[in-house]
Structure 1
Amino acid sequence: MNPFALILLAFLAITFLQSGYDKIADWNGNVSWLKGHFSQTFLKNQVPFALLIVLALEIVAGVLALVGMAENIKSGATIIGDYACIVSCITLLFLLFGQRIAKDYDGARTIVIYLIPALLGVYWL
């Protein structure tokens, strides 16, 4: 059992499963807000599709993190946890791309705060 892996994977599971839940629970509110956020970009007509892609990635990352925690507790392995970190990084890069396109530089900076632990997980797991 690797305490670093467990804490990191718990962080990723909480982050992405809560975010995914929020998107599902308030789909229309999220789409409405994001349409305004991206109204001056080439993504303005792609918001629902882009949100669905991000939602799918978040759910996959969160579930992989939970399964990775179970794998680490059971056998000490970190293979699935590494996949969780990789999918998390991909998800965060999508989000970072969107924030940069929308010229929301404070939002982009916030995403980097989440990207750092996910990258550490890719490196250390």
Structure 2
Amino acid sequence: MDNLAGLMILLFLAITFLQSGYDKFTDFQGNVSWLKEHFAGTFFDGKVELALKTVMVFELIAGLLSIVGMIEMSISGGTTFGKYGAVVSCVTLLMLLFGQRLAKDYDGARTIAIYFITAVLGVYLLQ
């Protein structure tokens, strides 16, 4: 329990990305349908399914690494997997930010920035 803030950030990232990845997996066609409209006329027009699968995989990896990181911290005090989880979370959020900016969804991009600050703080605390 030496790094309680790190544990809380990893729990936040695990909840965020596992829930989001699970939602994308269980309602893939619903997400594709909404995103095709969202990205119509952009670079992702016609590439929505591949982009969604890519983001879903990154989200699930980020969430799983965050959980493994919490376990590692609790057992040995190590931060390797937690740091990887936070870094993959940052990369995932940058992909999402790119998509939101491309779609000119500036409110969505602003929301992602809040999550990104938390993930970067996790990278910093878990060094």
TM-score (norm 2): 0.97
Q: Does 1:99 align with 2:100?
A: yes
Match of 1:43 in 2: 44
2:45 is paired with a residue whose SS is coil
2-side partners of 1:122 and 1:66: how far apart?
A: 15
Distance 1:124 1:42 in 2: 36
* Larger deviation, residues 90-99 vs 38-47: 38-47
Task: Provide the residue aligned with 2:81 in structure 1.
Answer: 80
Once the two structures are superposed, residues 59-116 of structure 1 have per-residue CA deviations (whole angstroms, 9 ceiling, x without a partner) of 0000000000000000111111000000000000000000000000000000001000
Letter in 2 for 1:31: V
Please report how far the alpha carbon of residue 123 of structure 1 lies from its aligned counterpart in structure 2 after TM superposition: 1.2
Percentage of matched positions with identical amino acids: 62
Partner of 2:25 in structure 1? 24
Paired AA for residue 32 in structure 1: S
Q: What SS does the corresponding residue of 2:42 show, helix, strand or coil?
A: coil
Quote the residue 1:3 is aligned against. 4
Structure 2 residue matching 1:42: 3-state secondary structure = coil
Q: What is the alpha-carbon distance in structure 2 between the residues aligned to residue 34 and residue 58 of structure 1?
A: 17
CA distance in 2, matches of 1:93, 1:106: 15
Corresponding residue number in structure 2 for 1:90: 91
1:22 offset after TM fit, Å? Answer: 0.3
- Quote how far apart the aligned CAs of 1:5 are: 1.2
Superposed CA RMSD in Å reads 0.6
